[in-house]
Amino acid sequence: MGTRYFKVIACEIALREICHAAARSTNTVDLEFVTQGLHDHPAAGRQRVQELVDAQPPGKYDAILIGYALCGNIIQGLRATHTPLVIPRAHDCITFFLGSRARYQEFSQSLPSAYFYTSGWLECLRRRGESAPPTHPALLPTRAGDTAAANSTYQQWVEKYGEENAQHLLEVMNRWTENYTHGVLINFGFTKPLHLHEQVQKICQQRGWEFQEVEGDLRLIQRWVDGEWDPDGFLVVPPGHQVTPSYTESVVTAVPATTQTPPADSGAVADPGSPPPPLPASPPGTP
């Protein structure tokens, strides 16, 4: 088919992996990465991605590759205007790093209490300009955005309530960690020089988790930028259509675009700029 020209619009979580795959592709790929956290507020995040899609000149690209999973329905209602969209079929971006939905499902069944880390999840706070050390156990973001409010307001809490109360607020916000027993680092050959295992081992030690490291698999991302879009792995959204969840193994499907507003955010976390929850009179478990 020859060299094609693609535009990638993706979450910065997969920056290293997508750049690595794009460098190996025979296609010409323009890359644009969006700050992590859009799925914390799916409606606003969807609008941002749609703006980037609509801003691409008609006829410039053969396809626009969307680097998001369903991720809290952030891509629900996303429309292809004049250029096809290509989206990996995945509920969660961890599928991107493990190479397939099947492999992710295998890990989910064998380690149902595992929390996965990648280079992007360990680096995104720094990319956002936040000063918290990447090994701080309470400041790492979650894939569903559960700690976005704490991440973005921690310093404000320190200034307003003091260090001790701010730490207590983070503990309350971070109780999602009680559901996990393992911290699993997905590593690649090109990320091993970053010594990410040391960071995740420290996180696991602080949280009382077991540490495990697995090899990442770039096959899904590589096929995506190479234009090898098999129907089982990818959704191609033709112009005039939009994305909607399929509620089947296919994850997403394309339907004719409508002018209806997609459903409002459900389960979105508090606005990062909003006040923190009220402080309890005393820490839990104290008289």
Question: Do 252 and 231 share a domain, yes or no?
Answer: yes
Q: Is residue 106 part of a domain?
A: no
Q: Mind listing the pLDDT tens digit for each residue in 80-121?
A: 999 999 999 999 899 999 999 999 999 888 888 899 999 998
Q: In angstroms, rounded to a whole number, what is the distance separating the alpha carbons of residues 172 and 126?
A: 23
The tokens describing 128, both together, are 């956002």
Structural domain range at position 40 = 5-94+218-256
In our burial notation (b when 16+ CB lie closer than 10 A, e otherwise), range 51-66 reads eebeebeeeebbbbbb
* Residue 146 counted as domain residue: yes
11: its two tokens:
């979450």
Pair 83, 124 in one domain: no
In a domain, 279, yes or no: no
In this prediction, residue 156 carries a pLDDT of 66
Residue 42 resides in a domain: yes
The structure's pTM equals 0.77
> By three-state DSSP, how is residue 165 classified?
helix
Decide the pairing of beta strands 182-187 and 114-117. parallel
- Residue 200 falls within a domain, yes or no? yes
**32 and 64 assigned to the same domain:** yes
Q: How far apart are CA 33 and CA 48, in angstroms?
A: 12
Do residues 156 and 79 both lie within one domain?
Answer: no
Query: Residues of the chain whose pLDDT is less than 50?
Result: 132-152, 261-287
| Total structural domains within the chain | 2
Instruction: For residues 210 and 232, state if they share a domain.
Output: no
